[in-house]
Copies of this chain bind each other. A is one copy, B any other.
Amino acid sequence: MKKIAYLGLGIMGRGMAANLLKAGYPVTVWNRTADRCAPLVAQGAAQAQSVAEAVAGADVVMYCLSDDKAVDALVFGEAGVLAGVKAGQIVIDMTTIHPDTTRKEAAAYAAKGVKFLDAPVFGSKNEAANGGLWIVAGGERDLFDEVKPILEVLSETTHYMGGTAMGSSMKLVGNLVVAAQLEALGEALVMATKAGLNPEDVLGVLHVTDFKSPIFDGVGGALIERDFSTHFALKLMLKDANLISRFAQDLNVPLPASAATREVIKAAVNKGWGEENASAFIKQIEELAGVVVKKG
């Protein structure tokens, strides 16, 4: 079994590392604030004191960070991954980043003979914890096939999307759809509420029709309970909306509805809800209409 170094134990990383351990992989973990390693060490992980140490003995180095800046720091920073890796090793970046950052990583690793896969994930806290993520990967097909057993431990499905940065590109495409669905859900529930419909009944309809989506059940259910506890922070959703905007700019693709939606997310963050769950952006749609969507 391949030896894995897992770097960064945030909300996503810790769930993935734990599942790799459960599946029997030898895993060495590292985190900037070292105390986050303890629960994983208790599950059998080795703990490295530095990135270099973690990387040294690994067949595969994996990380899933918060944004492009964090990737830049971990990979290209002093005593970072790039400094530590050697020809023949494999690196898998699971972060949601701009495809250009992915290409920059890929080129730097290739120059050292290191094999690289971009493999960002759909799903958040719960899916990371229970191995139910959906992974979209870009890079060499052979490399994908080689590490697929590892990715399958973490995911419900794993998708090969094409060459380098096709995983990152698909991630932004998918996040566009997520944002659109949250906006649609918000607009629908706010209009329904003002029209005198019971939001719970509306969710009942959205649960069965051919325009249904699991996200409507999850986010809609929490919304009418006014539960905004964080699975995926609104501030990260704004980051993603900004990445999508930049990607659409690079490709010069007009996105009329997504552009409108980004402005709503910005306003929600200006209200101070950035640390709440992404669904908090529906509160901004409520603000616009002067109404609150709630149970009963």
Contacts and interface: CB of A to CB of B under 8 A. Distances in A.
Contacts of A218: 210
Q: Is the interface of A mostly helix, strand, loop or mixed?
A: helix
Interface stretch (A15-23, A28-36, A81-89, A166-174): A166-174
Nearest to A123: B210
A197 B170 contact: yes
Contact of A212 (B202, B214, B256, B264): B214
Interface in A198-225: 198, 201-202, 204-206, 208-215, 218
Contact of A260 (B157, B260, B269): B260
B195 A184 contact: no
A170 B211 CA distance: 14
A68 interface: no
Given A191-B251, A208-B157, A211-B214, A196 B162 contact: yes
Size class of the contact patch on chain A: 35 or more
A246 to B, nearest CB: 8
A256 B170 CA distance: 25
Q: How many copies does the complex hold?
A: 4
A14 interface: no
A171 B38 CA distance: 52
Nearest to A208: B157
Contact of A257 (B159, B169, B187, B251): B187
A251 B194 contact: yes
Given A188-B173, A218-B210, A245-B245, A254 B197 contact: no
A174 B195 contact: no
A206 B183 CA distance: 17
A266 B288 contact: yes
Contact of A211 (B181, B202, B248): B181
Contacts of A181: 180-181, 184, 211, 213
B205 A159 contact: yes
Contacts of A210: 122-123, 127, 134, 213-215, 218
Given A192-B169, A196-B169, A253-B190, A209 B289 contact: no
5 contacts: A156-B208, A170-B192, A170-B202, A254-B270, A254-B289
Among all A-B residue pairs, the 7 with the closest Cβ atoms: A180-B184, A270-B290, A254-B263, A254-B288, A210-B214, A267-B288, A256-B260
Given A194-B253, A256-B260, A270-B289, 15 more contacts: A122-B209, A122-B211, A134-B209, A169-B197, A174-B188, A176-B184, A176-B188, A180-B187, A180-B257, A183-B256, A187-B255, A194-B251, A242-B249, A252-B270, A259-B259
